[in-house]
Structure 1
């Protein structure tokens, strides 16, 4: 009597593992997305996290990069769990078709995420030159999803795996290089920065003059989107009163000037108030008024 070969443990549980990792990835990138959209800072034991998340590479099509990562993880979770929602006893054909199709989607999705994460790791190491634990965590999740997809089932056609991974990998890499073509352009944005488009009310101007009189400084970089956001909150007239310190070298934008190195500036924008550095990030005018002890009008017209 022949014994029926049992299904390997990894094949029985691969979808649960893939779905679980995808959910963790969605939570991580969702937290980063909310933090960036709300103008807040992320909790991180190393300074590199905010440096990376405030860099010119952290925004794609005007939206924070973690948003796209969150959507990708959600899609992977859906692909992993979709067949499990169909009863195998009553809808065998539907369940089988879902399993076959979603395995191909999982393979394509995990390949794209692996290639994109690999490119981001390259940027961290050779362009931004900063350590971001969230980025490393996401890259680890992407690699785990790819490996689990490969070993999570019995692939009958190995040529199919090779074809899908090569095609998706090449398309992802070419698309990524295209998206970041502007960020990688050797001709950086103008050292004068993006022009301020907002106007200032009397309240913004009075706060700016107060901060200038108290010796308050704002450290930033001309390529930093959050620095421009901070300038927009003040408005053109008021920001002209701010004691602004440019940290980016005009010739090498990613190199920090010595004045900011001595001040121990690790990310932008950073305010120095009463001789102390405030937690980096764009601040509302109400926050700056409170921290600096400003007692004037708080009827500001510009908001973050």
Structure 2
């Protein structure tokens, strides 16, 4: 029987699995690249509803880098491994191509299994901890499961038992590693807090001038509110712009149930407008992300001195 006949006998899924994996990985890479850009630019509020809340959460950063950046690298690696053997002509170097196919199938399976387990844990965090619906996160989980299915169905595995053993081992290592990475968040050490309600562990180190205090009083008088969470670094950045004295006078709404004096019902009632933290509500309008004091003054109609220090 000729090689052509054997190739025709191969199921459709096996003949096209690598192309499908590369296509799915490309979609995942584009999505995570977009989310990484939003995270690095500090503009999570422009993301879809619920997505901004996820990007602003402590779970969105690993080793000081956006989690989505690691997702982008994972999807890109899967795409490259899927296509790598295809660039080698079987007529010129059949042995090299065969070896590369064998190695990349193993790596594709390991990568897909790890991504699926990690995505499953993120789905748990969405439901139990962050309590938000993120379309991008759910889509990424579906893509990960699809990659795992294609790696299993896209090849005739010689030893299914060995594959299952490898899958269980990879899943255990991934889960233990994930729990270790997030252990500091899931079991936070009690930090010394300042007198400003809802302030995260890092205290406000800047001091307020008369202009900052006057702006804070003006914002409070007109009913302006700042929605945030105790773990949100951008919320702390916002308070640093006001300074310690002025930050104590703004109306701050703590949205995390684990924060100080939480007002989760109010946050949930405004969930369509509060997509990320901080979000300001001023005169019926919502402004997402860290705002400069000049921007807050303009939005609120502040007429006082603008000799801001920070």
TM-score range, shorter chain: 0.7 to 0.9
Preserved contact between residue 253 and residue 262 of structure 2 (Cα < 8 Å):
no
Which segment is superposed worse, 258-267 or 174-183? 258-267
In the superposition, the TM-score normalised over structure 1's length comes to 0.84
For residue 262 of structure 1, report the CA deviation from its aligned partner: 8.2
For residue 42 of structure 1, report the CA deviation from its aligned partner: 3.6
Report what 1:270 is aligned to.
279
Structure with more helix by fraction: 2
Task: State the number of aligned residues.
Answer: 297
Report what 1:244 is aligned to.
252
Instruction: Tell me if 1:38 matches 2:41.
Output: yes
* Distance in structure 1 (CA, Å) of the matches to 2:12 and 2:260: 48
Report what 2:25 is aligned to.
22
Report what 2:169 is aligned to.
167
Superposed counterparts of 1:99-114, under 5 Å: 99-114=101-116
In the superposition, the TM-score normalised over structure 2's length comes to 0.83
* Distance in structure 1 (CA, Å) of the matches to 2:293 and 2:60: 25
Superposed counterparts of 1:1-304, under 5 Å: 4-5=5-6, 6=8, 7-40=10-43, 41-44=45-48, 47-185=49-187, 192-194=199-201, 195-198=203-206, 207-208=215-216, 210-212=218-220, 214-249=222-257, 252-253=258-259, 256-257=262-263, 260-261=266-267, 264=270, 266=274, 267-274=276-283, 276-294=284-302, 302=310
For residue 230 of structure 1, report the CA deviation from its aligned partner: 2.1
Preserved contact between residue 248 and residue 255 of structure 1 (Cα < 8 Å):
no
For residue 63 of structure 1, report the CA deviation from its aligned partner: 2.1
Change in 2 beyond 3 A, CA 1:253/1:205: closer
For residue 80 of structure 1, report the CA deviation from its aligned partner: 1.0
Preserved contact between residue 254 and residue 260 of structure 2 (Cα < 8 Å):
no
CA-based RMSD:
3.0
Change in 2 beyond 3 A, CA 1:199/1:75: farther
Deviations 1:45-99 (A, max 9, x none): xx32222222222222222221111111111111111112222221222212211
Q: Which runs of 5+ in 1 are unaligned?
A: none
* Distance in structure 1 (CA, Å) of the matches to 2:305 and 2:102: 64
Preserved contact between residue 219 and residue 260 of structure 1 (Cα < 8 Å):
no
Q: Secondary structure at the match of 2:184?
A: coil
Deviations 1:111-163 (A, max 9, x none): 10000001111112222222111110000000000000111111112233123
Q: Secondary structure at the match of 1:4?
A: helix
Deviations 1:15-58 (A, max 9, x none): 111011111001111111111111112432xx322222222222
Which segment is superposed worse, 66-75 or 232-241? 232-241
Preserved contact between residue 270 and residue 277 of structure 1 (Cα < 8 Å):
no
Q: Secondary structure at the match of 1:245?
A: strand
Q: Secondary structure at the match of 1:90?
A: coil
For residue 283 of structure 1, report the CA deviation from its aligned partner: 2.6
Q: Which runs of 5+ in 2 are unaligned?
A: none
Q: Secondary structure at the match of 2:30?
A: helix
Q: Secondary structure at the match of 1:11?
A: helix
* Distance in structure 2 (CA, Å) of the matches to 1:175 and 1:199: 41
Change in 2 beyond 3 A, CA 1:248/1:122: closer
